[in-house]
Chains A and B, each alone.
Chain A
Amino acid sequence: MSETILELKGIRKAFDGVSVLNGIDLSIDSGEFITLLGSSGCGKTTTLRIVAGLEFPDEGSVILEGQDVTGKSPDKRDVNTVFQNYALFPHMTVAENVAYGLKLRKVPKAEQKKRVAEALELVQLAGYEKRRPAQLSGGQKQRVAIARALVNNPRVLLLDEPLGALDLQLRRQMQIELKRLQKRLGITFIYITHDQEEALNMSDRIAVMHGGVFEQIGTPDQIYDKPRTDYVAKFVGSANVICGTVLRKTGNSLAVAAENGTVFVKVGNEAEYLAGQEVRMAVRSEKLQICEADSEPTSKSRRQESREQEAAKQENEGRGDDSLKGFEQQCPKTTGIPCTVKEISFAGGMLRMAMETESGEELIASRHGIRPDQKVGDHVLVFWDPEAAVLVEKSSVEGANEK
């Protein structure tokens, strides 16, 4: 079942001298559901168009079922596309639109009719056969576009944000339908979405795209829990990324000096780090913990000192230094990064708190509940469970074309 169906090798593409794809390598197994995830303008649609044959790469090759189809026209590839802008034929009815591919393939009339009906049933548009695209809502058009591509039962189906125009409920429903169908028919899906949740829910694998390259390709779990780069961590997990320098490693705990504080990250036992080495940590906003900073104003040097002590203590896994008692009770595991609360807002039952470190970096914390313990202007310490943080690399791309 897991033979390779599609391979992209070193694909490069530039428009008017502006490079959009900078070496895309991807190998997709038959029956796989792979999602291209990335911000607007990063080259997702362009990649899809190259697979479909609507655009030709400047460099690299497209291998479909073992055959090099790089220069072949779209009608010579067993690939169908659900276009981002639907591209329904305005002079044909819904049924004629869906039947278009079947008609070209000279499928017998009776079978055409049956398959069109099935496809429309699937996208919940039975009864709309006679309508014209102009008489449909955006979401309905989108579903006709899905039916029109799906009805041909292609080897690979390319879907460019196919659920973008649907309301949440219908979108959920269609997600489940599409996934089920994909499993049942064994069609390979290459799926584009902006919606991380959709990507995480539906995909076998996710390819996170950024500035015309893949930052990371992996299962949803890998992408979510072990982001490779700061970009992936930010884009998929909406994580905070904090830079720092290694202080020391004890067992599987790495102490890092960052933003005038000391924080800890859990790392592998074997991994080696040198003191002074620069690292980046990603911590998701819901993993950030917050406590009040010392209520009485302390001089910077004293804070520094206590942090050193704290770090030392962490190392010994021992606790109970008298001088830090009050602090200790609130922040039991680590010392933290001193911050000032800048903004508190609520969204979807979540409390969101934006804080600023002493060097001006922004950290975002979020948690359930709506009543904040802090108020704007409060001085706080931000810390986290060492297991909640991961080390990430710096993305090699400096936000190219993205907006």
Chain B
Amino acid sequence: MRSKKRSRVWLAALPLYLFTILFVAGPLIYMVVLSFMSKSDSWGIEAVFTLRNYERIGEPVYRECFVQSLKLAFTTTFLTGLIGYPFGYFMAKLSPSKKRLLLLLIMIPFWTSSLIRLYGWMIILQAKGVLYQTIRFLGFEIKPLKLLYSYPAVVVGMVYALLPFMMLAVYSSVDKMDWNLVEAARDLGASAAKAFWTVTFRLTLPGLLSGVILTFVPSMGLFFIADILGGNKIVLVGSLIQDQLTRGADWPFAAALSVVLMTITTLLLILYRRIANTGELEGIV
């Protein structure tokens, strides 16, 4: 009876297993295998085992690329959390009708391509762009801006692109918050700040943490923002991989870069889970 039931469950899950094997595990294995092969001169791959691809990543140019990617991802995630948490928090405290309006406002930009929105940022950040005009209009005499094609511009673009995920993640956990608990804390003698820190923040941490993951993981790979807003000054692993795939036509090296990128991300996530794992976060992170 029991085994029958179990087999039926297995059967129901079969499509899922197939899908996973075909579209997730398969490509991953292919990529790992590829990363140990060598490039042949004529646009191709030779099935000759080599560690050369991984050795190359150790070279300063490429190493620098990884460092820069990590730095940008951390900065982006940190700033996104810093802005997104309070935003999500206050949004959850609004009246239902205002909440709905705000949620809509957050969603609307997704109706246009992110590429187009990035060009919008270019118009704003240009030397004599919208930002410059606005500052001038407010009566400040400034030199044309040197913002575009700089690191800050890339950070702005990244934060802009990823902020909605953070806000929504925080919002959904603050929205579920039982405010009676804050009252209980206040009643037991906690100041407003203390009650926030010991109760509200602790209980909405899962939201913040999933926001962090939703921000950090993509920010390791969102190369086109850096390409567009950073000119060619900032080369991230993502764009490096893309470059190797297309112009460089070095698939094994691209695969090796991908493997390393994925490993770093995974390790960081595991580490993060360790730190954050306090029981009630299970199932979220």
Is the CB–CB distance between A101 and B189 below 8 Å? yes
Is the CB–CB distance between B199 and A52 below 8 Å? no
What residues of chain B lie closer than 8 Å to A74, measured between beta carbons?
183, 186-187
Is the CB–CB distance between B184 and A89 below 8 Å? yes
What residues of chain B lie closer than 8 Å to A80, measured between beta carbons?
187-188
Q: How far is the CB of A105 from chain B (nearest CB, A)?
A: 6
Is the CB–CB distance between B188 and A104 below 8 Å? yes
Interface residues contributed by chain B, number (CB under 8 Å): 21
What residues of chain A lie closer than 8 Å to B194, measured between beta carbons?
104
- Does A126 sit at the interface, judged by CB under 8 A? no
Is the CB–CB distance between B184 and A83 below 8 Å? yes
Residue of A nearest to B179 (CB): A87
Partner of A91, one of B189, B190, B191, B203: B203
Contact with B along A88-124 (1 / 0, CB 8 A): 1111000000001100110000000000000000000
What residues of chain A lie closer than 8 Å to B180, measured between beta carbons?
83, 85, 87
Contact with B along A60-86 (1 / 0, CB 8 A): 000000000000011100011101010
Partner of A87, one of B181, B189, B278: B181
Contact with B along A187-206 (1 / 0, CB 8 A): 00000000000000000000
Residue of B nearest to A100 (CB): B188
- Does A262 sit at the interface, judged by CB under 8 A? no
What residues of chain A lie closer than 8 Å to B278, measured between beta carbons?
91
Is the CB–CB distance between A54 and B183 below 8 Å? yes
Is the CB–CB distance between B203 and A87 below 8 Å? no
What residues of chain B lie closer than 8 Å to A79, measured between beta carbons?
187
Q: How far is the CA of A87 from the CA of B199 in the complex (A)?
A: 11
Partner of A104, one of B181, B183, B189, B192: B189
Contact with A along B165-205 (1 / 0, CB 8 A): 00000000000001011011111111110100011001100
- Does A366 sit at the interface, judged by CB under 8 A? no
Is the CB–CB distance between A105 and B187 below 8 Å? no
Is the CB–CB distance between A89 and B187 below 8 Å? no
Q: How far is the CA of A85 from the CA of B184 in the complex (A)?
A: 11
Partner of A73, one of B186, B198, B202: B186
- Does A333 sit at the interface, judged by CB under 8 A? no
Interface residues contributed by chain A, number (CB under 8 Å): 24
- Does A12 sit at the interface, judged by CB under 8 A? no
- Does A47 sit at the interface, judged by CB under 8 A? no
- Does A334 sit at the interface, judged by CB under 8 A? no
What residues of chain B lie closer than 8 Å to A335, measured between beta carbons?
none
Q: How far is the CA of A75 from the CA of B199 in the complex (A)?
A: 15
- Does B280 sit at the interface, judged by CB under 8 A? yes
What residues of chain A lie closer than 8 Å to B198, measured between beta carbons?
100
Q: How far is the CA of A144 from the CA of B259 in the complex (A)?
A: 51
Is the CB–CB distance between A54 and B186 below 8 Å? yes
Is the CB–CB distance between A87 and B191 below 8 Å? no
- Does A142 sit at the interface, judged by CB under 8 A? no
- Does A357 sit at the interface, judged by CB under 8 A? no
What residues of chain A lie closer than 8 Å to B188, measured between beta carbons?
75, 80, 100-101, 104, 148-149, 152
What residues of chain B lie closer than 8 Å to A87, measured between beta carbons?
178, 180-181, 183-184
Residue of A nearest to B202 (CB): A91
What residues of chain B lie closer than 8 Å to A53, measured between beta carbons?
186-187
What residues of chain B lie closer than 8 Å to A73, measured between beta carbons?
186, 192
Contact with A along B10-31 (1 / 0, CB 8 A): 0000000000000000000000
Is the CB–CB distance between A89 and B186 below 8 Å? no
Q: How far is the CA of A85 from the CA of B278 in the complex (A)?
A: 25
Q: How far is the CA of A75 from the CA of B279 in the complex (A)?
A: 29
Q: How far is the CA of A152 from the CA of B181 in the complex (A)?
A: 17
Is the CB–CB distance between A100 and B185 below 8 Å? yes
Q: How far is the CA of A52 from the CA of B279 in the complex (A)?
A: 32
Partner of A105, one of B189, B203, B279: B189
What residues of chain A lie closer than 8 Å to B178, measured between beta carbons?
87
Residue of B nearest to A75 (CB): B189
Q: How far is the CA of A74 from the CA of B183 in the complex (A)?
A: 8
Q: How far is the CB of A87 from chain B (nearest CB, A)?
A: 4
What residues of chain A lie closer than 8 Å to B191, measured between beta carbons?
75
Q: How far is the CA of A152 from the CA of B178 in the complex (A)?
A: 23
Q: How far is the CA of A74 from the CA of B190 in the complex (A)?
A: 8
What residues of chain A lie closer than 8 Å to B280, measured between beta carbons?
90-91
Contact with B along A357-380 (1 / 0, CB 8 A): 000000000000000000000000
Q: How far is the CA of A73 from the CA of B183 in the complex (A)?
A: 10
Residue of B nearest to A152 (CB): B188
Q: How far is the CA of A176 from the CA of B192 in the complex (A)?
A: 36
Q: How far is the CA of A271 from the CA of B198 in the complex (A)?
A: 63
3 closest pairs, A vs B, by CB?
A87-B184, A101-B188, A74-B186
Given contacts A81-B187, A89-B199, A101-B188, 8 further A-B contacts (CB under 8 A): A53-B186, A73-B192, A75-B190, A83-B183, A101-B189, A104-B188, A104-B189, A104-B190
Q: Which residues of A contact B (CB under 8 A)?
A: 52-54, 73-75, 79-81, 83, 85, 87-91, 100-101, 104-105, 132, 148-149, 152
| 25 residue pairs from A and B, CB less than 8 Å apart | A54-B183, A75-B186, A75-B189, A75-B191, A79-B187, A83-B183, A83-B184, A85-B180, A87-B181, A87-B183, A87-B184, A88-B184, A89-B185, A91-B202, A91-B280, A100-B190, A100-B198, A101-B189, A104-B189, A104-B190, A104-B194, A132-B279, A149-B187, A149-B188, A152-B189
